Structure 1
Amino acid sequence: MPVSQAIRTDVAELNNLVNSAYRGETSKQGWTTEANLLDGLRIDEETMDTYFDDDAIIILKNIDENGRINGCVYLEVREPKLYVGMFSVSPLQQGNGIGRDLLLAAEAYAKQANLHTLTMTVISVRHELINWYERRGFKATGEIVPFHADKKFGDPKQPIELIVMEKSI
């Protein structure tokens, strides 16, 4: 199915998808899990819902043949760049090109918005994920930022740093 823009009524399903891709036992069925690094939720419905009130943010979704959301990505215009986050694919459907399609849709959105750089943060010890982004043209900038101290996006089990990666399009 083609990638499309998520709407507010998708919040509960998006929330379930994102948390299943990153945390808990379900996430361990895929390769993008952070369950060994963080406890708690990746996101909650209240936070997800606020994204739909911000004109600088859109969430793209991918729908499976049964009409369920099986992938999503958060995009935020941060002039002159497009921030890419919350990149999630159902752990049971990873490796089927859904992530690639979402990333291509993010690039198309950036071009449409006349933004020529995609930027993101990745947990520094997530080497397999960093390698995946590098194969798609992202490069580490050398900038390192701390993980969210307020535990809004999870409770670290160890010290965590985020590297900044960018791609020119």
Structure 2
Amino acid sequence: MAYKFAPAGKDDVSDLSILVNRCYRGKDLGGWTTEADFLGGIRTTPEMLEQQLKEEYLTMIKAVDPVTGKIVGCVYCKVDGTSVHSGMLCVEPSIQAKGLGKMLMQEVDNFALNNNCTSVTIDVISIRDSLIAFYERRGFRPTGKTTPFSKFGVGDAKRELVFQEMKKQL
């Protein structure tokens, strides 16, 4: 399918919040990216997303279904010197594992190159083996840097969690 990719705006925050929470906290929705087994609470709110969109050098890329006009995927990109930090990669659970996540990560690479960046970094919860493998297939490698999950405050951890930084050279 030929999705339309564009920067998200203030009018998109409600739909993005619903999508992000379905992807990260939804259970039994058919996707493979849920964190519901080890995280409770919500992942984001429209207010949190609106605040993020106001940040300098940050862009949230949305993927729009050309038939329905609905947002079916997103990822944020923030320029940090010569690198782009990416996160909140989401694909509507009912259409996961069909290539949209790969397309969104290609959009991240394009965003980085268009902003004269030479690398992309991400933070992944260290127990998410299948997600780490997804990123490794995209060229990311662990940097050795870790951050306690509690520093990010994006949910209620049901156990101790750690973010692992991964980096890809462009």
TM-score, length-scaled by structure 1: 0.95
Q: Are 2:55 and 1:36 aligned?
A: no
Q: Is the 8 A contact 1:119 1:164 kept in 2?
A: yes
Match of 1:54 in 2: 55
| Residue identity matched to 1:55 | E
68-77 or 47-56: bigger deviation? 47-56
Match of 2:116 in 1: 114
SS of the residue aligned with 2:16?
Answer: helix
Match of 1:86 in 2: 88
Runs of 4+ in 1 over 3 A off after TM superposition: none
Equivalences for residues 114-153 of structure 1 within 5 A: 114-149=116-151, 152-153=153-154
In 2: Cα distance, 1:45 partner to 1:84 partner? 19
- Summarize the Cα distance change of 1:91–1:46 in structure 2 as closer, same or farther, 3 Å threshold: same
In 2: Cα distance, 1:89 partner to 1:71 partner? 4
Q: What are the superposed Cα offsets for residues 48-100 of structure 1, whole Å, 9 maximum, x if unpaired? A: 01122122111001011200000000111111210001110011010111111
SS of the residue aligned with 1:15?
Answer: helix
| Residue identity matched to 1:165 | M
Match of 2:160 in 1: 159
For these two proteins, the number of residue pairs brought into alignment is 167
In 1: Cα distance, 2:47 partner to 2:117 partner? 29
Identity %: 37
Pairwise CA distance, 1:29 = 1.9
In 2: Cα distance, 1:149 partner to 1:80 partner? 24
Q: Is the 8 A contact 1:3 1:101 kept in 2?
A: no
Q: Is the 8 A contact 1:52 1:58 kept in 2?
A: yes
In 1: Cα distance, 2:151 partner to 2:145 partner? 18
Q: Is the 8 A contact 1:59 1:73 kept in 2?
A: yes
> Which runs of no fewer than 5 residues in structure 1 stay unpaired?
none
Match of 2:99 in 1: 97
SS of the residue aligned with 1:25?
Answer: coil
In 1: Cα distance, 2:20 partner to 2:81 partner? 26
